[in-house]
Amino acid sequence: MNIIVCVKEIIDPELPPENFEIDPTRNIVLGPDSMPHILSPFDEHAVEAALQIKDSCGAKITILSLGNNIRREIVKKPLSMGADEIILLEDEAFADGDSWSTALPLAKAVKKIGDYDLVLCGRQAADWDAGQVGSGIAEILGLPSVTLARKIEVINGKAKVERVIPDGYEMIEISLPAVITVSNEIGQPRYGTIDKLLAAVSKQPLIWKPQDIGMDPSETGEKGRKLKLLKLFKPVREGKCEIIEGETPEEAAINLAQKLRDAKVL
């Protein structure tokens, strides 16, 4: 069983809105390099999903990431959790792509790896929230796909997947190889262990450039985009909150109840 997990580093989505500013002239987040970066949380859930399969039936897990100047300490985190190998598509040409010009090189890299049963991705990256790279990889490679998995079991060359829907879940059976995107309902990603972390530090990722996956640099990253970003802006907030006071918390609560009653909200 060979599993490829696609991961991406992003600006920490937990960053409070007041610390998040946009450079309107360049349509980018202000000072992105000074912002704290983490592995996109849903990608970490995808790693967890791969590790759950590894626990139950054994698997080799290869981490695949794409970008330029990729922070090693972040993309190596899955190794400390129990993943086995790491390949980076790292080049200037890969930077600032849209879902199209990102899914294409990832699909070519998956094809080059060749020996795989399952490709896992997070349901969406928590920066652009595009939510389509996994489906794109599947479509480019002609593979079946499932989105929003909350449980994956591999049995006899097939995967049984529980897929999140608003009022519960769907049960899906899919033949392998396949692409599955993972949602947070899969469960908390496990912590890394010290010995795996130490091994990860010294591990050198395999680096692939566009030509290594048979691509012209103009087909990927910013040059390969189909979507043009016209404007990035912060939503306007009204921000008129009436704070209800009281001598004690109990009194404030009583005043709030009365206020809502008077305003006919209740």
Partner 1 sequence: MSDYRNVMVYAEVTSESLSPITKELLGCGKKLSNDLGKELCAVLIGCNISHLAKEAIAFGAQKVYLVDHPLLENYQTDLYLWSMMKVVEKEMPRVLILGQTSIGLDLSPLLAFRLETAVVLDCVDLSIDPDSNQLLLTKPVYGGKAMATFLCNSKPQVATVRSKSMKPLEREGSRKGEVIAFNISLDSPNIRKRTLGKVAEDAKGIKLEDAEIIIAGGRGIGSRDGFKQLEELSKILKGSAIGGTRPACDAGWLSTTAQIGLTGKIVSPKLYIALGLSGSSQHMAGCSGSGTIVAINRDPRANIFKEAQFGVVGDWAIILSAFTKKIGDLLAQ
CB atoms within 10 A of CB 109: 23
Region 159-178 residues binding partner 1, contact defined as CB under 8 A: 162-175, 178
Shortest spacing between CB 130 and partner 1, in angstroms: 6
30 interacts with partner 1 by CB under 8 A: no
Q: Is 195 in the site for partner 1 (CB under 8 A)?
A: no
Name the residue nearer to partner 1 (CB basis): 144 or 192.
Answer: 144
Strand partners, 196: none
The SS3 assignment for 265 reads coil
The answer to whether 82 contacts partner 1 (rule: CB under 8 A) is no
- Would you say how long the chain is, in residues? 266
CB of 81 to partner 1, least distance (A): 17
How far apart CA 163 and CA 181 sit, in angstroms, is 10
The Cα–Cα gap between 171 and 169 comes to 7
Q: Segment near partner 1 (CB under 8 A), from 82-90, 194-202, 214-222, 224-232? A: 224-232
Residue with Cβ nearer partner 1 (216 or 251): 251
- In the list 13, 32, 157, 214, the residue contacting partner 1 (rule: CB under 8 A) is 13
Under the binding rule (CB under 8 A), the answer on residue 31 touching partner 1 is no
> Among candidates 102, 65, 88, which has minimal Cα distance to 221?
102
Pull the structure tokens for residue 119: 């490709």
Of 102-121, binders to partner 1 (CB under 8 A) are 103
Q: Which of 5, 61, 106, 146 lies at the binding interface for partner 1 (CB under 8 A)? A: 146
Q: Residue 137: name the closest of 106, 166, 168 by CA.
A: 106
CB of 202 to partner 1, least distance (A): 33
Is 26 a residue that touches partner 1 (CB under 8 A)? no
In angstroms, the CA 93 to CA 223 distance is: 8
Residue 101 vs residues 97, 185, 218: alpha-carbon distances, Å: 5, 29, 10
Please state, in angstroms and as integers, the Cα–Cα distance from residue 8 to each residue in 76, 151, 202, following that order: 11, 22, 20
Stretch that binds partner 1, among 62-70, 112-120, 200-208, 226-234 (CB under 8 A): 226-234
Phi, psi of 120 (to 5 degrees): -115, 140
- Rank residues 207 and 257 by Cβ distance to partner 1 and give the closer one: 257
Select from 237, 231, 232, 229 the least CA-distant residue to 18: 237
Contact segment (CB under 8 A) with partner 1 among 83-91, 112-120, 213-221, 250-258 equals 250-258
C-beta of residue 20 within 8 angstroms of C-beta of residue 52: no
- Residue count, binding to partner 1 (CB under 8 A): 85
Q: Which residues between 35 and 74 bind partner 1 (CB under 8 A)?
A: none
- From the list 33, 191, 231, 247, which residue makes contact with partner 1 (rule: CB under 8 A)? 231
What's the closest the beta carbon of residue 249 comes to partner 1, in angstroms? 4
